Amino acid sequence: MFYSATEAAELIRRKEISSRELTESLFARINAVNPELNAVVQLRRAQALQEAAAADQAMARGDELGPLHGVPITIKDCFNVAGSPTTWGNPAFTGHVADTDATVVRRLKEGGAIVVGKTNVPFMLADYTHTANDLYGLTRNPWDTTRTPGGSSGGAAAALAAGLTFLDYGTDLVGSIRIPASFCGVYGLKPSTGIVPLTGFQPPGPPAPPSDMTYMSAAGPLSRSAGDLRTALAVTAGPEGQAAKAYSWRPAPPRHTQLKEFRVGFVLDHDQGPVSSEVSAQLSDTVDALSRAGATLVEGWPKGIDPVRSAESFGFHVGLYFAFIEGGQDGGRDFAPLSAAIEHETRRMAARQAWNDHFADVDVFLCPTTATPAIRPGDGTDVERMPFWITHASLPGLPAVDAPIGITPGGLPLSAQIVGPLYEDDTAITFAELLSEIAGGYTQPPPDSDLR
């Protein structure tokens, strides 16, 4: 059950296994392992098996097949899936059943995927460190069940790491894809701003008023291989509605296809987000491995980037996002004056320009995703500082891949964040794919992790 989604699709195409057989096997794995993890919190057993049987019939007829044909996947419980509850981890939404699919869900289905269930989230997605709520309970990390899988896509990352799904789709505002991916040792992509539609990603109830304040909120895939990120993005990205009448989307090709061709900017530590010795050592080893592979390395922040001021502006814009959603209030307080909004918007766009200029000289930028491996609840880690490293892709809207790069001596996964040029997501994905050849990639949690 630890194939990548792309490998699983190929097995089905070669008729080495049917979609129904694979889906039944996945349900058996969920039955055996999920009670310990509590990562998958809703199941579509009957519907998924019917859809898998239909996928097998379509293949027998010789129908045109999508890239994920017959592959069972899960979806974060903040996206609408027709006929299933959308709860956002909120007991008040228990009875809400979606009548339509979110755009990403519809497109994944059109690509052939079989949605078998939904994965857990913190209450209203409001936690990037843990995944727990009063409706479904606590999700645990498959590498060490005393530790957190992160949030808010913690259920997605834990399910992937433990072999309970072949692909999941999450969301990322304050690192909610990248932090769980890092803690659980899987891949996660925050795409370039705006390329994946967010329709159908909303709490139950009246829709929010129209707004362009989603410029830092993103939907993206989590997977066990970098190649799966590419496949999932190709299936789900692109305009919809009126915009689709005006233009279409296709991924820009990667800048290079060999590590020795890449120019890699990097920063491995900062006083504002000091990394642990385990993270520091593994990142340094990764940079050394890149050097041996022939990549050109360029150390330092981009000219014009003050990482502390960027982090401040990121926090401001996150607050502004919630102020619009909550009708002009932020945590019960009147929001900042217009002058502050102008200042921080100017900083955001200046940061985007500085990064764009930097990517004229380098191809990708390597830095930590998180300052530590997966934490325990209440372990004293300064959680307010945790988003520091994810800030620098989020503020300017750049694509960023979390990629596994090793295991600590204590048996926890470590990762690197690969930031790419705006709208060149496949450059970051391809670099992550190549990096796995010299720095490791996804590793299955060991048998003694209580997930036999």
Give whole-number Cα distances, 441 to 38, 115, 144, 436, in Å: 24, 25, 19, 5
Q: How many CB atoms lie within 10 A of CB 68?
A: 27
Contact 136, 89 (CB under 8 A): yes
- The crossing angle, in degrees rounded to 10, of helices 45-61 and 5-13 is 50
Distance of alpha carbon 141 from alpha carbon 374, whole angstroms: 8
Give whole-number Cα distances, 322 to 18, 208, 229, 240, 352, in Å: 45, 11, 28, 24, 22
Q: What positions carry a catalytic annotation? A: 76, 152, 176
What residue type is assigned to position 118 of the chain? K
CA nearest to 116, candidates 70, 35, 47, 68: 47
Distance of alpha carbon 287 from alpha carbon 259, whole angstroms: 12
Asked whether the CA dihedral 255, 365, 436, 76 is positive or negative, the reply is negative
Backbone angles phi, psi at 87, to 5 degrees: -115, -25
Structure tokens at 107: 């497109």
Structure tokens at 161: 């790491």
